[in-house]
Amino acid sequence: MQPDVRPDRRAGLLAWLITVTVGAGWQLATRFGVTTTLTPIDLALLRYAIPALALFPILMRDGFLAKDQPLWILALIVIGGGLPFGLLGMVGAQFAPASHMGALLPGSMPIFVTLLSKVFLGERFGRGRVVGLGIIVLGVACVVGTTLFGTVGGPNVLLGDALFISAGVFWAIYTVAYRKSGLDPWHGAALICFWSSILVLPIWIVSPSAALLDAPLPDIALQVAAQGILAGLIGLAAYGVAIRHLGASVAAVSGAVVPALTALGGYVLLGEPLSWLTAVGVICVAVGIWAYAGSPGLSLLSRRKTRPGGS
C-alpha cells in the first residue's frame, strides 16, 4: 500500500485532461472497430493484454495482489476498471451510436460514484454538485429518450444504452474501490490489465466471433494504439492519478467534455446522424458534469488571478 501522498491539484488536473482526451478517442475508435472488421472480444483482448505485457515488470516488483488489502478490494478494482467494464462498453458500441456512448458512459459514472462515495467513503456533496447531478440525469434521460420515443434506432439502440449505463456502474465501483485501496496508479493499472487478460484470453480463444487474426493490418494497428496503449495504459494510469489528487467524485467527472467531443467525432468522422434531442442530452450531460465538478477550470483560473502579478 502506498504511503499517503499530498494532493497536487495541478497534477490532478493534468491527469484529468489526459483522461478526457483518451476517453473521447477510445470511444470513437471502439465504435469504429466494432462496426467494421473487429468484434468486442477482439478489442477487449487488445485493451488488456498489451498493457499487461508492458506493465509486467511492475507486477514483478510490487506483486500480483493489492498489498495490505483484502482480495475483495482487488476483485472490485479488476471487474470495475477492467473486465467486464470494458466489454460492456464495447458490446454497447455495436448497437448504439457514438453520441450515446459519449453521453451515457461519462454521464452515468458520477451518478453511481456519488452514491457509492457517500456510502463507503463518507464524502459530502454541496448544493452545486446536487444541481450538477440533476442536470446530468436530465441529459441521460434525453439521450435515452431518443430511443424510447423513436427518434433514433430501436430496441437494439436501447440495449446499447443499457449496456453503457451498466458499464458506468462498474466504473463507479472501480473508482471507489481504487480510492479505498491506496494503490499506486501504475501498480493499479498493471493489476487491472493483468487479471483482465487472464479473464479475457480463454473467452477470446473459444469465441466464434473473434476476428482479430483475419482483420486488415491498418485496423489492427489503430486498435492497438487506441485500446492497448491509450485506453489500456495511459488513460487508466492518468485516471488513477486524478482520483488520488482530486478525489473519487471529482475524478469521475473527467468526462466533462467527452460527450461533446465524442458526438462531434461521431458526426464528422463516422458519419453518424445527431438528432436535436441527443444534442440537448449531450449538452446537459457536459454542463452537469462540469457543474458537478465545481467548475474546475474556473476555480483554477481564479486561483491564478489571485497571485501577485496575475501569474
pLDDT digits (tens, 9 = 90+) for 2-16: 445 567 778 888 888
The reply to whether 61 falls in a domain is: yes
The reply to whether 247 falls in a domain is: yes
Instruction: Return the pLDDT at 252.
Output: 59
Task: Give the integer Cα–Cα distance in Å for 168 and 136.
Answer: 13
The reply to whether 3 falls in a domain is: no
Q: Is the pLDDT of residue 302 over 70?
A: no
Residue 289 near residue 253, CB atoms below 8 Å: yes
Instruction: Return the pLDDT at 68.
Output: 82
Can you give the C-alpha Rg of the chain in angstroms? 19
195-251 confidence digits (pLDDT tens): 999 999 999 999 998 999 999 999 999 999 998 888 877 887 787 788 778 776 566
The reply to whether 36 falls in a domain is: yes
Which string of b and e fits 207-227 if b means at least 16 CB within 10 Å?
eeebebeebeeebbebbeebb
Place of cell 467494464: 85
Count: domains in the chain: 1
Query: Is the omega angle on the peptide bond into residue 40 within 30 degrees of 0, that is, cis?
Result: no
Instruction: Return the pLDDT at 184.
Output: 84
The reply to whether 245 falls in a domain is: yes
- The model carries a pTM of 0.81
Task: Give the integer Cα–Cα distance in Å for 224 and 215.
Answer: 12
The reply to whether 200 falls in a domain is: yes
Q: Is the pLDDT of residue 261 over 80?
A: yes
Supply the range of the domain harboring residue 268.
Answer: 9-310
The reply to whether 4 falls in a domain is: no
The reply to whether 74 falls in a domain is: yes
